[in-house]
Amino acid sequence: MNDDEEIIIPNDAIRFRVIANSNSVEDQTEKMIIKEKIEQEVYALINGANNTSEVRTLIQDNMEEIEAIVDTYQVPYTINYGNNYFPSKSYKGVMYPAGNYESLVITLGKGAGNNFWCVLFPPLCLLENSKQDVSDVDYQLYVKKLLSGF
C-alpha cells in the first residue's frame, strides 16, 4: 500500500460511540462492558444487512432492546440515534476525521469520561475488536478490502 493512498470511510457509514460517566476505573470498565454487550446485540440484529438503509431500519426498530441492555446496569444514560459529533481518531494508520456522522451514541451518566467509538457499518468495529495482533499495513489493506464491498 502506498503512503499517499488514503483510506476513506464512506459518508453513509454508521458509527457507534459509548461515552463513560467519568475516567474512574469503575466507569471506564462499565463503559467497555456495555459497549461489548451492545455490539453483540447490534451485530446479531444487522447480520446479513446489505446496506446502510437496512442497518438504519434495524437499529431504529430495535431501540427498545438496545435500551433494555443498558437498563440492566442501572446507570443513568441517554441514547441517541441520529447525526452526532465524533472526535478524530487514528487507528493502525487509518485516520477517521472529526465531524457529524449518523450514529448510535450512548452517554453514561454525566458523559465526562473518555469514549469508545468505531464504525459499526461497514463492520469495522469487529475488525478493531479482533484479538489477533494485526500489523498496521494488514489492517489498512483489510479496511480497504472491506470498504470496497460497500
Displacement of CA 124 from its chain's centroid (Å): 8
User: What is the count of structural domains for the chain?
Assistant: 1
- Note whether residue 43 is domain-resident: yes
Reported as a single tens digit per residue, the pLDDT across 3-53 is: 455 666 777 889 999 999 999 999 999 999 999 999 999 999 998 888 899
Which element (helix H / strand E) includes 66?
A: helix 63-71
Report the C-alpha gap between 101 and 116 in whole angstroms.
15
Higher pLDDT, 11 or 56: 56
Angle at 43 between CA 46 and CA 107, to 5 degrees: 110
- Note whether residue 63 is domain-resident: yes
- Note whether residue 37 is domain-resident: yes
- Note whether residue 9 is domain-resident: no
- Note whether residue 6 is domain-resident: no
Q: Which domain holds residue 25?
A: 14-148
Q: At what angle do helices 52-61 and 63-71 cross, to 10 degrees?
A: 50
- Note whether residue 8 is domain-resident: no
In this prediction the pTM is: 0.82
Q: How confident is the model at residue 87 (pLDDT cuts 50, 70, 90)?
A: confident
Q: How confident is the model at residue 120 (pLDDT cuts 50, 70, 90)?
A: confident
Per the CB < 8 A criterion, the answer to whether 13 and 99 are in contact is no
- Note whether residue 81 is domain-resident: yes
Grid coordinates standing for 119?
464504525
Structure confidence at residue 1 (pLDDT):
43
Among 6-15, 28-37, 61-70, 106-115, the minimum mean pLDDT is found in 6-15
Report the C-alpha gap between 17 and 84 in whole angstroms.
9
What average pLDDT does the structure give for the chain? 84
- Note whether residue 3 is domain-resident: no
Strands (E), the chain: 14-19, 77-86, 89-91, 94-96, 99-108, 115-121
Q: Is the pLDDT of residue 141 over 90?
A: no
Higher pLDDT, 124 or 99: 99
φ, ψ dihedrals at 14, nearest 5°: -110, 130
Among the listed residues 16, 14, 38, 26, the one whose alpha carbon sits nearest the alpha carbon of residue 113: 26
DSSP letter at 23? S
Q: How far apart are the first and last CA of the chain?
A: 20
Structure confidence at residue 50 (pLDDT):
86
Q: What percent of the chain has pLDDT over 90?
A: 54
